[in-house]
């Protein structure tokens, strides 16, 4: 759009200043979490706030570099439930992203590449479920889960999220553009239908699979509402519940709370660091929904 190569114009300078201010707004709270996780409450709420943890906090007799992290992990009653909740969150998020990718690709493939009576109806029905917000059906789901004795279990946490309508939609749209000639050629070669799906279709879907897998993982990592209903036992809590509980009971210890928040964010930061392309891609795919 901009054809003027050379000096920085005034408009451009203003653009840069504005964008940098927004940058500060989005980044500073994250930097704050990072530095605050090494500070004690007194320094976190000091006026004026200093962005560099001062030396005396690490060298004083009752604090070390890792004091906050140890507190975050040990929790309020030293039961060290942190790792258990981390594990629970990982189990739920990984399982859900695997099943979502599997079931959504299966269904999306069926809808995109097979002509059968009711194909369009099934597609529309699945799209219609996108209009049903989870928040509106959580009460009946809760009742069913408790009557099936699935409270405080991985099954209870996972089963309502096995696949998402949006995932099916995304897979179908992607596979519509997949050349049918490949499929026919494999059929001529005598490959079975399921093998075609597993060996030809799936390996050619890696971008959607990555996007969808990350989206599902993130949604579960973020999920507070459903675990709040289903996990009442300490050992079945997930990371968001742990942080919530921790912040209630440790209201005064801001440093430990930030350390806890930081630890809980590490898996997401790692994923984002390695696969940021697919995070941003996921947002972009959503936009194409209008098509």
Among 79, 129, 149, 180, binds another protein (CB under 8 A): 129
- Name which of 46 and 185 has its Cβ closer to another protein: 46
- Name which of 59 and 270 has its Cβ closer to another protein: 270
- Name which of 12 and 87 has its Cβ closer to another protein: 12
Among 7, 10, 26, 61, binds another protein (CB under 8 A): 26
* 206, HSE (Cβ side, Cα atoms, 13 Å): 5
Site for another protein in 214-243 (CB under 8 A): 218, 221-222, 224-225, 228-229, 239-240, 243
Q: How far is the CB of 97 from another protein (least distance, A)?
A: 15
- Name which of 59 and 195 has its Cβ closer to another protein: 195
Among 13, 70, 80, 144, binds another protein (CB under 8 A): 144
The answer to whether 88 and 267 have CB atoms below 8 angstroms apart is no
- Name which of 67 and 278 has its Cβ closer to another protein: 278
Check binding of 35 to another protein (CB under 8 A).
no
- Name which of 59 and 139 has its Cβ closer to another protein: 139
Cβ contacts of residue 91 below 8 Å, gap of 6+? 154
- Binding segment for another protein (CB under 8 A), chosen from 63-71, 148-156, 202-210, 259-267, is 259-267
Check binding of 75 to another protein (CB under 8 A).
no
Check binding of 197 to another protein (CB under 8 A).
yes
Site for another protein in 162-191 (CB under 8 A): 162-163, 165, 168
Question: Per the structure block, which two tokens stand in for 264?
Answer: 């809980």
Check binding of 254 to another protein (CB under 8 A).
yes
């Amino acid at each position: 759009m901009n054809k003027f190569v050379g000096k920085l114009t005034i408009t451009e300078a203003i653009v840069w200043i504005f964008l940098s201010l927004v940058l500060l707004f989005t980044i500073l709270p994250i930097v704050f979490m990072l530095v605050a996780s090494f500070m004690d409450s007194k320094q976190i709420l000091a006026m004026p706030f200093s962005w560099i943890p001062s030396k005396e906090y690490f060298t004083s007799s009752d604090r070390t570099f890792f004091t906050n992290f140890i507190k975050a992990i040990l929790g309020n009653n030293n039961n060290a439930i942190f790792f258990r909740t981390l594990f629970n969150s990982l189990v739920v998020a990984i399982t859900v992203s695997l099943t979502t990718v599997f079931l959504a690709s299966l269904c999306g493939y069926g809808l995109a590449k097979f002509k059968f009576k009711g194909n369009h109806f099934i597609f529309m029905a699945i799209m219609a479920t996108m209009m049903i917000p989870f928040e509106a059906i959580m009460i009946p789901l809760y009742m069913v889960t408790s009557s099936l004795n699935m409270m405080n279990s991985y099954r209870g946490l996972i089963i309502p999220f096995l696949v998402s309508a949006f995932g099916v939609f995304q897979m179908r749209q992607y596979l519509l553009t997949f050349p049918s000639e490949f499929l026919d050629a494999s059929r001529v070669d005598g490959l079975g239908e399921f093998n075609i799906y597993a060996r030809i279709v799936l390996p050619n879907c890696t971008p959607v699979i990555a996007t969808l897998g990350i989206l599902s993982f993130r949604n579960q990592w973020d999920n507070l509402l459903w675990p709040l209903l289903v996990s009442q036992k300490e050992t079945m809590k997930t990371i968001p519940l742990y942080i919530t509980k921790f912040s209630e009971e440790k209201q005064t210890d801001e440093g430990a709370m930030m350390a806890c928040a930081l630890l809980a964010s590490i898996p997401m930061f790692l994923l984002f660091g390695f696969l940021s392309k697919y995070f941003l891609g996921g947002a972009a795919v959503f936009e194409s929904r209008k098509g």
